Amino acid sequence: MLEYATAEQLAEGLRGRVLTPEHADYDDARSVWNGRIDRRPALIAQCTGVADVITCVDFAREHRLLLSIKGGGHHVAGTAVGDDALMIDLSPMKGITVDPEARTAHVQAGVTIGDLDHETQVFGLAAPLGDCSGVGISGLTLGGGIGFLSRAHGLTADNLLAAEVVTADGRLVRASETENADLFWAIRGGGGNFGVVTAFEFRLHKLGPEVLTAQIFHPLEDAGQVLRFYRDFMADAPDEVTSFAVLLRVPPAPPFPEEYHGKAAVSLFACYSGPAEDGKAALEPLSEFGNPIVNMIVPMEYTVLQQSFDPATPSGARYYWSSDYLHKLSDEAIDTIVSCIEPFPGDLTTVALMEMGGAIKRKDASATAFPHREAGYDFNVWSGWFDPSADDQIVEWVNGFREAMAPYTTGGRNVNMISSAAAKWSRAAYGHHYERLAEIKRTWDPHNVFRVNHNIAP
């Protein structure tokens, strides 16, 4: 337990606030998106800038404190929070500067997807990000980052031009292709193992304010046929089409027929990131297949599209996720998915597939630390619920689903979507790049200061 005087010492060196367990705002500050996470840091430092971050890193090293880093606090494993740790809370750092001529954005570490989309869309620009507006930019980028623009423009990490990083010894360095290139390589897929990234510089792309979208819902009993169609459709789809096949509960609202409200269904979500007139021809096959219960191909504001999955991921609900990559979407894999759907527990549960082609696969596999470009599909079981008494049942269902799908997976895991920070998942997350990442870790963090994460031991 830290002495009161020691906490006061840290507070005197910061412009931001330092919260102890006795502070009225402590419980709110330690809470993260996943309601299953209930950890108690010794101190929470709400940093307002780089100077605060450097002071915290130095303080943790001097007092041998466990250190955890919170950006958006949206990671399902809750690695933003560590028991008895000093939590560096970056969420007050919300600065965004967009250069519309250069098509770049300088973004501080507390920014969320929704924050950045809001600023870039004023100029008809966008960075390839995730697909939930509350997700923090920091964790998304450091783990890779997959979303509606990924097939057209690559991962979020592929569009990172430079970053500012506070290192384990309290220095601020810049990482880019020409400055500290080993560190720059590592932070594009290697997670938060190498320092506290306080700012990012992203490449932006012309997009919006509207994009052509498809939202097609089919009855659950047609899931096998729909997934086979999705596989065949994406095999020939242009790079401008990014599409998800999602099993989820039908929202209890129009335009969904009342008899399907609350029932599980299979849906196809797609975005066309090129000219709308070209998109109509590209997305039309989605509308023509089968007998959908809802069939919409419509232009939509890009910022609204980016909030499509928000209702299924409210903050404070309980989440347990499984994330894998598939070699391919074979008939056998599809049959296994269909057989595992029931009982589909949890009001917020979804099962999602995304084809991993286009710009994701064209990027040289050794160009960044993200190791899963050879995969055919990103496959996720995202369970969500509210009642704590359902924990065991739902966790068992997710684990059983993962085990049943094991014969079709690559063995890799999406580091941004692993529910446990257990060491056994780190090698699955970083794959064939693990050893190179460990070497870089030895250079930049030899004492493993940054270890409350999917850790790479130096």
Q: What is the pLDDT of residue 66?
A: 96
In this structure, the number of other CB atoms found within 10 A of the CB of residue 1 comes to 7
Same domain, 223 and 192: no
Q: Is residue 423 part of a domain?
A: no
Q: Flag whether pLDDT at 58 surpasses 90.
A: yes
pLDDT in the model for residue 4: 55
Number of domains the chain contains: 3
Query: Quick check: is 454 in a domain?
Result: no
Range of the domain at 83: 4-89
Question: Picking from 130-144, 188-202, 351-365, 411-425, which range would have the lowest pLDDT averaged per residue?
Answer: 411-425
Q: Is residue 455 part of a domain?
A: no
**385 plus 437 within the same structural domain:** no
Q: How far is CA 148 from the centre of its chain?
A: 12
| pTM recorded for the entire structure | 0.95
Report how far residue 270's alpha carbon sits from residue 240's, in angstroms, rounded to the nearest whole number: 10
pLDDT exceeds cutoff 80 at 305: yes
What pLDDT, on a 0 to 100 scale, did the predictor assign at position 214?
96
Read off the CATH number of the domain in which 83 is found. Answer: 3.30.43.10
pLDDT tens per residue across span 189-248 = 999 999 999 999 999 999 989 999 999 999 999 999 999 999 999 999 999 999 999 999
Residues 180 and 214 in one domain: no
CATH number of the domain at 117, please.
3.30.465.10
> Does residue 457 form part of some domain?
no
* pLDDT at residue 400, rounded to an integer: 97
